[in-house]
Each structure stands twice: as structure tokens, then as C-alpha cells.
Amino acid sequence: MLAVLAPGQGSQKPGFLTPWLTLPGAEARLRWWSTLSGVDLVHLGTAADEEEIKDTAKTQPLLVAAALLTAEQLPMYDATVVAGHSVGELAAAALAGVLTPEAAVTLAGVRGREMAAACALEPTGMSAVLGGDQDEVLGAIEAAGLYSANRNGAGQIVAAGAVAGLEKLSASPPARARVITLKVAGAFHTPYMAPAEEALGKVAAGITPGTPGKILLSNRDGAAVDHGPTMLLRLIRQVTAPVRWDLCMGTLADLGVTAVIELAPAGTLAGLAKRTLKGIEIVQVNTPEDLPAARDAIARHGTAPTHEPHPEFSVVVAGTAGTFTPLPDLTEGSQVSIGQIIGAIQTRQGPVDVTAHDGGVLTEWLANLDDPVAPGQPLARIGGQL
């Protein structure tokens, strides 16, 4: 099984899109997306210096556009799983079919501008805490009046909040941990970004999302989201919510992913995957010269499409890991309505309802009572009409 990952802010490098503009149609694509995002993506990806592309208002649409431009050169229909880190989640949602590329780039432009504006309201920042005991690190972050904004796995947790709190954490770091101040505009993924979340929500309200055509993982909890409106709501709320990339990688492991491709500008997520997901193949796509290796990985680890006639149906998938319990009186052949609860997944935190996002006939249970399930695992097939 193959997963495609879209990187987030901090992965950009000066001139990283220059080699991509040699491909037919690439520059025209970027100029169209520039109009939608409100920034000059061609300039930012080729001629802008490091200081300019650190501007949140410019970086976010640049990264989403880069991931989408890269993916257009790959046979994405063979990729099974997609996920993105922070703003990269907009690109992942487009690759899964929840958003159009145009909608993703437009939202990235709004998100970047509004988060930059929120950062200017008061002095805030972020610091990476490397190493140490996880519980002790989280306790120290809370004691300093800060928020855990990113939990990236591999011993990386990012604290965010007021500058005074960050200075306190740096002066008295957790045992066996290092605190590194990050050069960012403010406290992303914390309540300080509430004005940006509100502004993004107003624009996103005009979008009609599609149904994911791939296993799409959410930064909120690593869950596989199979409902377009739910994913769109999560994308909005992600502005103030922590990025749980550690849980996304846990889901990749649970799904049995055997290869990962990181889209341009690649490196950050590939490094985290290498340290966390042992034994998998990792391909970084930074220039067109990396495309053959990526296509080869997709051919060997992806799922080939079928062109045979097939019934039209929707598949209900697990959003979390646990033990599945189908609704006792719901049998194959029963009519199911939109939003109906068809079962539950028993987790350590309690039961999580499983609902049908499409109506029709329950044609087949794909998981049975007390079966262990992983996020993204199919549970039931609904529909079945040619």
C-alpha cells in the first residue's frame, strides 16, 4: 500500500520550483493559481529569497501549489492513502477529491493571509522541544502557559504561545530535552489563530466538497475521513487545533503502508517517516528527475485501477482503530439512510459511532462483530446498483 504526503510550512527552499517550470503547462498552471491565491507563485517559487518565502501569507499557497503541481505528474489514481502536514492538508484534500485544485489554492491564500494578520495582533511564537519524556515535555509546556501545537513523532513536539511563556520554557527546559526557537510569525494551531479560523470558514462556506476517493487522513487525530463536508470542517478548525502528525504516522503503520512518496518540497516528512515507520520505502520528489523513481514506487506499491464494469456503491470506513460492533438489527439487504448509525468502534476512550454518509441498500458487511479494525479499513458496502 502506498501513501502520498504533502509537506507543510517550513519545508520551502529558495528556487525550489525552478526545474518544474521546464515541464509543459507548468508555468501557465502556476499563473492561474497565482490569480486565485493572490500571490505571484512563479516569482515565489523561482526568484524569491529565503526571507520572502518565509512570509506566512506567501508560503502557504506556495506549498499547496507545489504539492499539486508535483502530483499532476504522477499516476495518483494508483495511490491509496493521502495526508498533508498543516497547510499541506489542503493539498491532500484536493488529491483525495474533497476539494478541486482551484479551491485548495484559493483557501491556502486566504488561510495564509488571515493567519499572518492574526500573528500581528500580539507577540507570539513557537519553539521545538526535542527529546525528553513525552509526558514531562507536555507538562512543562502547559506549566509555561503554552500550547502543544505540533506533535510530530520521533521525539518532536512544538510549543506555541506568548513570547514570555516561550522564554520561560527555554530558560527551564524539561529533563533531557532541547528547546529551539523557531523563526515563525506567531503561534500557529492555537487559539491565537481564532480570527483566521473565522475568516477561512466564511470563504469555505461557499465550497461544495466532494467525497474522498482515497483514504484521507486528518491532522486532528490521524483518523481516515470519508465524508467531504466533515473534512472541510476539519480543515477550517485545523487553524486553531494541534497538528497530530504522530497519529497520522501511527495510522500509516496500522494500515500496513509499504511505501511513502513526499511531494515537493520534500524532506521533512520523509525524515519523520524514516525514523518512525521502519522498513518502508521512501521516495522524495524535489525535481522532475525524481519522477521516474516515484512512478516506479507507485507501480510496485499502488493499487491498479480496473476498467471492468462494476456496481456503483459507497464504502463506509473506520475513522479510528478499535473493535467493530455492527448494529445488531441491521442485516444485509436493509435500507440505510444518510447519517444513520450502522455500528460502533470500541476504543480505549469509549465507543465511536459509525455512520453512513450515503443512503441505499446495505449490500455487504466487510467487517464482523468484534473484528479489530484500523483507520481507513472498509466496514460496509452501501448501494450496489449498476
pLDDT category of residue 164 using cuts at 50, 70 and 90? very high
Q: Are residues 69 and 136 in the same domain?
A: no
DSSP 352-374: EEEE-SS-EEEEEESS-TTEEE-
Q: State the Cα–Cα distance between residues 179 and 170, nearest whole angstrom.
A: 6
Q: What is the pLDDT at residue 43? A: 98
3-state SS of 274-303 is HHHCCCCEEEECCCHHHHHHHHHHHHHHCC
Average pLDDT over all residues of the chain: 92
Q: Are residues 269 and 212 in the same domain?
A: yes
Q: State the Cα–Cα distance between residues 273 and 205, nearest whole angstrom.
A: 34
Q: What is the pLDDT at residue 305? A: 43
Q: What is the pLDDT at residue 313? A: 63
Catalytic site residue 172? no
Mean per-residue pLDDT, 305-315: 51
- Measured from the Cβ of residue 279, the count of other Cβ atoms closer than 10 Å reads 5
Q: What is the pLDDT at residue 74? A: 94
Q: Which three cell numbers stand for residue 209?
A: 466538497
Q: What is the pLDDT at residue 306? A: 41
Q: What is the pLDDT at residue 314? A: 72
pTM of the entire predicted model: 0.82
CATH of residue 22's domain is 3.40.366.10
Mean per-residue pLDDT, 310-332: 81
Q: What is the pLDDT at residue 386? A: 33
Query: Which residue shows C-alpha cell 495518483?
Result: 76
Q: Are residues 155 and 216 in the same domain?
A: no
Q: Are residues 281 and 362 in the same domain?
A: no
Mean per-residue pLDDT, 340-361: 89
Query: Which residue shows C-alpha cell 509546556?
Result: 141
Query: Which residue shows C-alpha cell 502506498?
Result: 2
pLDDT at 381 over 90: no
The answer to whether position 261 is within a domain reads yes
pLDDT at 245 over 50: yes
pLDDT category of residue 312 using cuts at 50, 70 and 90? low
Q: Are residues 322 and 241 in the same domain?
A: no
Q: Are residues 112 and 226 in the same domain?
A: yes
The residue count for the chain = 386
CATH of residue 135's domain is 3.30.70.250
Q: Which three cell numbers stand for residue 19?
A: 526545474
Q: How far is CA 10 from CA 40, 79, 244, 385, in A?
A: 19, 25, 17, 47
Q: What is the pLDDT at residue 380? A: 87
- Which of the following is catalytic: 86, 148, 218, 314? 86
Q: What percent of the chain has pLDDT over 70?
A: 97
Q: Which three cell numbers stand for residue 232?
A: 472541510
The answer to whether position 307 is within a domain reads no
Q: What is the pLDDT at residue 360? A: 87
- Mean pLDDT lowest among 37-46, 189-198, 263-272, 301-310: 301-310
Query: Which residue shows C-alpha cell 464504502?
Result: 315
Outline where DSSP puts E strands in 44-155.
81-84, 124-131, 147-153
- Backbone φ and ψ for 323, nearest 5 degrees, come out as -115, 130
- Which of the following is catalytic: 189, 218, 227, 314? 189
CATH of residue 372's domain is 2.40.50.100
Number of domain units in the chain: 3
pLDDT at 384 over 70: no
The answer to whether position 223 is within a domain reads yes
- Residue finishing a domain among 301, 323, 348: 301
Q: What is the pLDDT at residue 1? A: 93
- Backbone φ and ψ for 231, nearest 5 degrees, come out as -65, -40
Catalytic site residue 85? no
The answer to whether position 238 is within a domain reads yes
Q: Are residues 243 and 109 in the same domain?
A: yes
pLDDT category of residue 236 using cuts at 50, 70 and 90? very high
Q: What is the pLDDT at residue 307? A: 38
- Residue finishing a domain among 301, 328, 363: 301
Top-confidence residue, 171 or 310: 171
Q: Are residues 82 and 218 in the same domain?
A: yes
Q: What is the pLDDT at residue 145? A: 96
Q: Are residues 223 and 297 in the same domain?
A: yes
Query: What's the pLDDT tens digit per position in 92-123?
Result: 999 999 999 999 999 999 999 999 999 999 99
- Residue finishing a domain among 301, 336, 358: 301
Half-sphere exposure of 338 (CA within 13 A, CB side): 3
- Mean pLDDT lowest among 50-54, 244-248, 303-307, 358-362: 303-307
pLDDT category of residue 21 using cuts at 50, 70 and 90? very high
The parent domain of residue 155 ranges over 121-182
- Measured from the Cβ of residue 213, the count of other Cβ atoms closer than 10 Å reads 14
Mean per-residue pLDDT, 212-218: 94
pLDDT at 311 over 60: no
The answer to whether position 306 is within a domain reads no
Q: Are residues 127 and 166 in the same domain?
A: yes
Q: Are residues 77 and 161 in the same domain?
A: no
pLDDT category of residue 319 using cuts at 50, 70 and 90? confident
Q: Are residues 164 and 93 in the same domain?
A: no
